[in-house]
Amino acid sequence: MIALLQRVTRAEVEVAGETIGRTGPGLMVLLGVEPNDDEQKAQRLVERLMTYRVFSDDQERMNLSLVDIAGGLLLVPQFTLAADTRKGRRPSFAKAAPPALAEKMFDCAVAMARDYPVNVETGRFGADMQVSLCNDGPVTFWLQV
């Protein structure tokens, strides 16, 4: 599984002009699924997202996690993260999980995230989404398990 996480002051996702997910300070995470991903990998990724220290402490050092600050989490499915862009001018999606597996793993990650004491909002799998955010820092990390 792949996560592109961004520390945000705010983020939201819209489908057909309707806001379906929104968060204040916290993380906006684009989540990609690969063919060999399973519940164990989803659990490991969610643990990392919740405990990854990307928020500043009193000394302005990145020592606090999403759980530590009781921030919000906006999870958005993003199959293009698994694209192979090494050759040519068009990405290959051969390394992306088939839609049924990707949706299952996305839903699994969302359910696991909701076990933590943070507010979890989501995008909609398979939808044409418009995502807006204010990246705080900017702070952006690529996590892969």
List 23, 79, 106, 122, catalytic entry: 79
Tell which residue, 70, 76, 69, has the closest CA to residue 119. 70
List 80, 85, 130, 140, catalytic entry: 80
List 6, 23, 55, 78, catalytic entry: 78
How many Å apart are CA 51 and CA 54, to the nearest integer? 9
How many Å apart are CA 99 and CA 93, to the nearest integer? 11
Catalytic annotation present for 19: no
Catalytic annotation present for 43: no
| Residue entry with tokens 């002051």 | 9
Catalytic annotation present for 79: yes
How many Å apart are CA 93 and CA 113, to the nearest integer? 26
E strands, 33-145, in order: 55-56, 62-64, 72-77, 119-122, 129-144
Please identify every residue annotated as catalytic.
78-80
